[in-house]
Amino acid sequence: MHVHGTPTRTIWPLADCSGVEIIDQTRLPHRYELKRLATWQEAAEAIGVMRVRGAPLIGATAAYGLALAANADTGDAALHAVAASLIETRPTAVNLRWAVERMLAKLLPLAPTQRRDAAWAEAAAICDEDVAQNQAIGRHGLELIRAIRQRKGGTVNVMTHCNAGWLATVDWGTAIAPIYAAFDAGIAVDVWVSETRPRNQGAALTAWELNQHGVPHTVIADNAAGHLMQKGEVDLVIVGADRVAANGDVANKIGTYLKALAAHDNGVSFYVAVPGPTVDFRLASGAGIPIEQRSAREVTHITGRDPDGELAEVQLTPDGSPAANPAFDVTPARLVTGLITERGICKATKEGLAGLYPEQVK
């Protein structure tokens, strides 16, 4: 996608493979800053504090983390240790484990002298595949939006949650890819962007990237979603996922489940855009998905831009009030209208997923 008119991905390697550059997403929307990661520890830190976030981008960053580790030590023990540390940084998004396991499967059979170049090539391949998958998700999701447009005419109102746009991936995004495809095809779309407390990925990141592309949108408080659906102001909900179990249960940003409940009650279609690496065929149901518990400080404090243009953090809650911060929830498959994948759209069921990914089913 474009930042200030320049084609940009969320992560890219330096030409000499001495590091990678990322967009520091903790600074958006008020500052657009790049950050260089030169060691695997810096890659792990960037994932942990959410300079990079979103399931596919976490996976891509972990892959480059292993490439950075291979710059220093290509031995089996070192790679295994780095892989274990990277997997621990964020537990819910399965793309992280997927990318790390793919890197190890590629590197360990090779002679140690061949591993460094292979690691950089494999991480780049993971990134390129992510971009292609997201473009395909965009094409399939576009047809859903086009069908709504043909049925009702006028503007198609899409609601999304968190940020599953290009900032959450290497490029294009998952849930937002169909919206970009529709917008670029000349279909009038308007996006309800829920702020996504406590980290505000909707208000800060989705709003920022939609602005960059010129897509009409409105930021809402998370609590407004049900009301808008009840009033008929939402034609379609599309969200992303951090992990989809083999039965179609969906783990995504906290608050997704409430949107699915409201959509179900109001007869609004609720789609989840999900690339293959986000489906965990090893897990029978969503009950087994680990839910990341993040710092209470993300709930008790908030960062924004003060009147002088400086970033400032303020406290929201009284001194002494404890806060809890489960970062994801699980939406049961029965509330999901369908999964938009790079291979097409399927029901959120074991059979639906098996039909699109037969090679994953034993």
Instruction: Please check whether residue 278 is in contact with residue 246, taking contact to mean a CB–CB distance below 8 angstroms.
Output: no
On the 0-12 / 13-18 / 19+ scale of CB atoms within 10 A, 236 is buried
Which residues form the interface with ligand MRU (CB under 6 A)?
Answer: 53-56, 93, 162, 164, 168-169, 173-174, 201, 240-242, 252-253, 327
Cis peptide before 112 (omega within 30 of 0): no
* Minimum gap (Å) between residue 62 Cβ and ligand MRU: 13
* Minimum gap (Å) between residue 169 Cβ and ligand MRU: 5
Supply 130's token pair.
């992510």
* Minimum gap (Å) between residue 279 Cβ and ligand MRU: 12
CB-wise, 93 or 262, nearer to ligand MRU? 93
* E strand or H helix that includes residue 178: helix 177-184
Determine the residue with CB nearest ligand MRU.
240
Which residues face 340 on adjacent strands? 273, 345
Amino acid at 200: N
CB-wise, 120 or 208, nearer to ligand MRU? 208
CB-wise, 79 or 234, nearer to ligand MRU? 234
Cis peptide before 13 (omega within 30 of 0): no
CB-wise, 43 or 241, nearer to ligand MRU? 241
**What are the contacts of 356-359 at 24+ separation with CB within 8 A?**
357/276, 357/279, 357/281
* Minimum gap (Å) between residue 309 Cβ and ligand MRU: 25
* Minimum gap (Å) between residue 60 Cβ and ligand MRU: 11
- Kindly name the residue from 171, 222, 242, 249 that is annotated as catalytic: 242
Q: Mark out the alpha helices in 240-327 (DSSP H runs).
A: 256-265, 297-300
Instruction: Please check whether residue 271 is in contact with residue 235, taking contact to mean a CB–CB distance below 8 angstroms.
Output: no
Residue 53's alpha-carbon distances to 10, 61, 133, in angstroms, are 10, 9, 18
* E strand or H helix that includes residue 150: helix 112-152
Our answer to whether residue 308 is catalytic in this structure is: no
Annotated catalytic sites, by residue? Answer: 242
